[in-house]
């Protein structure tokens, strides 16, 4: 087990290079399963969710070659349609994309129900199942597994109007529909940058997907997908996390290798809080010298403020002048991190899907535990900004989605170290 020791109080200075987008990579790797040939995927982040999905593909017979740190070649030519077991699926939310990918390729899927971050409530997949059924699959949930299959061995295009804007359902149905017969029209879909990235990936392998990034996506099914090369977009949330860290700690950091347009919803909020943000080509220069001011934030599907940035922004708002209100309209109980912040002296009250934050002069270091991926990132930010020493446990959550997070913060002057601990120590710390 690993924990992070953080000595807070240093402003951050320098440049940080943003890795490939986690939420695009975790969909594109399963999508590679549908390709007849070699997919060369570049700008893949080195995170544990990626390793897990690659190992699931390997277990199904894919051949995987690591070309360099951020490039892999995946050959699924000889892949077989096997079961995705509970032990793999429970470790990563995105394992649900194996259903859409297997359905696309074999018109049949047998995948254990997904795990992933616990946001303090249920994470339904009814919209995914509704979409698969509309494409003609019979779907059942038995013994913790989703069994889906088309009776005649082919899925048929269909019109689907989603009841809820869902990233996962949009991508999953896009995968299944890409190799089905005829036209699929999906309405009320998610528009996140990684939705567009997955569509671009599929199109570069021979699919016919139009409209990704708008409310309506049209997919004309094709017979087969061919191999090719694709480079994943930069990670909007990783970039936003370093921006929030500069807001919390002060200093000046160039956030490099990003698509500034994807950052608009986050940039706008930071400007409101008194942070300076300048766009320079494919980077943003983020600077905070003066005090932080309060802000109200409501999370929304893209292009609104992302729920996946809510805990990191909350870390900065803990030290802003005045009272801030955060409303999470995507995940109604995503405030499990609040008790940990309170241990550091934060003043936060949670009321349903609202967090009311009364800014304090400073936070103080404490022993804290990451309870999910983005909450863990928020705890790093709070600890880097706090006076004194913090110990963060549960860091395996953070390493699911942040590449080299300790090294990247250290290069910016953050005093953070990763240390190995005995399992029994971790349990004691976790309580």
- Shortest Cβ distance from residue 178 to ligand UD1 (Å)? 18
Q: Is 125 in the site for ligand UD1 (CB under 6 A)?
A: yes
C-beta of 93 vs 288, nearer to ligand UD1: 93
307 binds ligand UD1 (CB under 6 A): yes
215 binds ligand UD1 (CB under 6 A): no
Give CA–CA dist 336/409, Å, rounded. 24
Considering the complex, state which of residue 163 and residue 407 has its C-beta at the smaller distance from ligand UD1: 163
Considering only 119-127, 239-247, 285-293, 338-346, which stretch makes contact with ligand UD1 by CB under 6 A? 119-127
Q: Spell out, one character per residue from 189 to 208, where the chain touches ligand UD1: x when CB under 6 A holds, - when not.
A: -x------------------
Contact pattern for ligand UD1 over residues 9 through 48, marking x by CB under 6 A: --------------x--x----------------------
- The helix, strand and coil proportions of the chain, stated in percent and rounded to the nearest 5, come to 35, 30, 35
What are the b/e assignments for 285-318, b being 16+ CB within 10 Å? bbbbeeebebbebbbbbbeebbbbbbbbbbbbbb
**CA torsion through residues 385, 387, 388, 394, sign:** negative
Can you tell me which of 31, 186, 244, 330 binds ligand UD1, judged by CB under 6 A? 330
Question: What are the residues whose beta carbons fall under 8 Å from the beta carbon of 334, sequence distance 6 or more?
Answer: 119, 120, 307, 310, 311, 328, 353
Which residues are registered as beta bridge partners of 187?
161, 216
Q: Is 92 a catalytic residue?
A: no
| Site membership for ligand UD1, residue 324 (CB under 6 A) | no
| Residue 53 sits in the site that holds ligand UD1 (CB under 6 A) | no
Report the alpha-carbon distance of residue 323 to residue 24 in Å, rounded: 35
The stretch among 39-47, 66-74, 126-134, 221-229 that binds ligand UD1 (CB under 6 A) is: 126-134
Cβ-based nearer residue to ligand UD1, 110 or 328: 328
Of the candidate residues 45, 168, 206, 234, the single one contacting ligand UD1 (CB under 6 A) = 168
Q: Which long-range contacts (CB under 8 A, 24 or more apart) does 53-59 make?
A: 53/26, 53/29, 53/92, 53/94, 53/95, 54/29, 55/88, 56/30, 56/84, 56/88, 56/95, 56/98, 57/29, 57/30, 57/32, 57/33, 59/88
Q: Which of 39, 76, 117, 256 is catalytic?
A: 117
Binding of ligand UD1 by 304 (CB under 6 A)? no
Q: How far apart are CA 66 and CA 426, in angstroms?
A: 33
- What is the set of active-site residues? 117
Residue numbers of the site for ligand UD1 (CB under 6 A)? 23, 26, 93-94, 123-128, 164, 166-169, 190, 307-308, 330-331
């Amino acid at each position: 087990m690993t924990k992070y020791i953080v000595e807070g109080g240093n402003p951050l200075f320098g440049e940080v290079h943003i890795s490939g987008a986690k939420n695009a990579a975790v969909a594109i790797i399963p999508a590679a399963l549908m390709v007849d040939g070699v997919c060369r995927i570049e700008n893949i982040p080195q995170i544990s969710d990626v390793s897990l999905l690659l190992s699931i593909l390997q277990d199904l017979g894919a051949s995987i070659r690591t070309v360099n740190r951020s490039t892999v070649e995946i050959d699924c030519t000889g892949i077989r349609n096997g079961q995705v077991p509970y032990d793999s699926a429970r470790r990563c939310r995105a394992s649900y994309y194996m259903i859409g990918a297997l359905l696309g390729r074999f018109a049949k899927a047998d995948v254990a129900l997904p795990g992933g971050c616990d946001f303090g409530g249920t994470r339904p997949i009814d919209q995914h199942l509704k979409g698969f059924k509309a494409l003609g699959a019979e779907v059942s949930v038995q013994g913790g597994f989703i069994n889906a299959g088309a009776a005649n061995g082919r899925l048929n295009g269909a019109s689907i109007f989603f009841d809820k804007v869902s990233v996962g359902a949009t991508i999953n149905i896009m995968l299944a529909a890409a190799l089905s017969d005829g036209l699929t029209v999906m309405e009320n879909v998610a528009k996140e940058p990684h939705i567009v990235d997955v569509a671009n990936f599929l199109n570069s392998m021979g699919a016919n997907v139009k409209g990704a990034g708008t409310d309506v996506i049209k997919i004309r099914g094709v017979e087969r997908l061919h191999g090719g090369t694709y480079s994943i977009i930069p990670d909007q949330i990783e970039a936003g996390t370093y921006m929030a860290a500069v807001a919390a700690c002060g200093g000046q950091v160039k956030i490099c290798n990003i698509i500034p347009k994807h950052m608009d919803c986050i940039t706008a909020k930071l400007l409101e809080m008194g942070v300076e943000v300048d766009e320079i080509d494919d980077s943003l220069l983020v600077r905070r010298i003066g005090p932080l001011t309060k802000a109200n934030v409501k999370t929304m599907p893209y292009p609104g403020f992302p729920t996946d940035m809510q805990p990191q922004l909350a870390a900065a708002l803990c030290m802003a002048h005045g009272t801030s209100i955060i409303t999470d309209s995507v995940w109604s109980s995503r405030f499990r991190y609040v008790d940990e912040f309170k241990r550091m002296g934060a003043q936060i009250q949670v009321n349903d899907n609202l967090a009311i934050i009364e800014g304090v002069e400073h936070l103080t270091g404490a022993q804290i535990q990451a309870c999910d991926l983005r909450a863990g990132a928020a705890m790093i930010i709070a600890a880097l900004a706090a006076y004194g020493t913090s110990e963060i446990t549960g860091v395996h959550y953070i390493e699911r989605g942040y590449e080299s997070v300790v090294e990247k913060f250290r290069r910016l002057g953050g005093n953070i170290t990763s240390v190995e601990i005995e399992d029994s120590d971790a349990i004691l710390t976790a309580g």
